[in-house]
Amino acid sequence: MAATPDNSALTALIALTERTLARHTRMVVIGISGAQGSGKSTLAEALRRHFSQQGITTAALSLDDLYHTRAHRAELAASVHPLLMTRGVPGTHDVSLGLSTLAALARGEPALVPRFDKARDDRNAPAEQDRAPAETRLLVFEGWCLGARPQAEQALAQPTNRLEAAEDIGGLWRRHVNAALSQDYPALWNTIDAMAMLRAPGFETVADWRKEQEWALRDRVGDGPGVMDDAALDRFVAHYERITRHLLTDLPDRADLVIELDRARIPTRISAR
């Protein structure tokens, strides 16, 4: 999606949110799951803005903002597997931070909302974070792997791509990621009251979208520890491939709203449960 979200997608998401708000008197969490570059952040911001303008106290949280700090990922890389230095996959997020932030908002308290600076590849200091207001009624929660479930053990046996074949020969990294999805992330996913999915046509399209994001970041901030050239970006995207492919087939039957996208990020079909 471009800077302005598609009207049909936003309208469908507003309708889903209104139905969900009508069912609960407590804070409602709307999840938006979509592969890198699918436009979920743009759609999430449009949804937040819409309901804020309606007088509903609304906050936003991105799964990307829950990444572990660079120092913590270095510890994981040294103690578990070197591939955990790269942010992105389950196991590189601070799930407990996400849960404590959501719990504070659910209690009606104001709360610091973590923010991650991708150009620095590190979490912002508390002074640079946002503050969600007290009595938040709606939280818009978006992320590339929201709702992801672990794969069956036999699915982990064969590498998905050259990265796994060359750098995860014994499968330790992908099994660690899978275990995190099994043990840690369900508690975070269970806070979501309704899930919308932006469904890409396939992983190859996702890889192209992710490159567009990186080029835009490079144009905006220049070089930095978190800004990648094309070779580094190809390797980076490979970290996401296994779970992205799994999500594209596993999540649609469970999502409350599925927005099918073409390569230009234009919705071709919208279906709601």
Q: φ and ψ at 86, to 5 degrees?
A: -80, 125
For residue 148, being part of any structural domain is answered with yes
pLDDT at site 92? 98
Identity at 251, one-letter amino acid code: L
pLDDT at site 208? 86
Integer Cα distance of 109 and 170 in angstroms: 46
For residue 20, being part of any structural domain is answered with yes
Query: How many CA atoms are closer than 13 Å to the CA of 50, on its beta-carbon side?
Result: 18
Number of Cβ within 10 Å of residue 224's Cβ equals 14
pLDDT at site 1? 44
The CA-atom distances, in angstroms, between 148 and each of 38, 82, 122, 217 are 16, 23, 24, 26
The CA-atom distances, in angstroms, between 35 and each of 56, 146, 197 are 28, 9, 9
Instruction: Please state whether beta strands 28-34 and 138-143 pair in parallel, antiparallel, or not at all (unpaired).
Output: parallel
Q: Which domain holds residue 45?
A: 7-259
For residue 272, being part of any structural domain is answered with no
How many residues are given for the chain?
273
- 34-82 per-position pLDDT tens digit: 998 899 999 999 999 999 999 999 999 999 999 999 999 999 999 999 9
The CA-atom distances, in angstroms, between 76 and each of 108, 245, 254 are 34, 25, 32
For residue 270, being part of any structural domain is answered with no
Tally of structural domains, the chain: 1
Contacts of 44 (CB under 8 A, 6+ apart): 32, 60, 62, 140, 142
229 forms beta bridges with none
Tokens matching residue 52: 């804020």
For residue 129, being part of any structural domain is answered with yes
By CB atoms closer than 10 A (0-12, 13-18, 19+), residue 63 is: buried
pLDDT at site 267? 96
For residue 271, being part of any structural domain is answered with no
The CA-atom distances, in angstroms, between 110 and each of 94, 125, 131 are 20, 18, 7
Integer Cα distance of 7 and 51 in angstroms: 15
| 92: CATH | 3.40.50.300
For residue 267, being part of any structural domain is answered with no
Number of Cβ within 10 Å of residue 194's Cβ equals 21
For residue 266, being part of any structural domain is answered with no
Positions in the chain short of pLDDT 70: 1-3, 215, 217-219, 221, 223-226
CA 52 to chain centre: 22
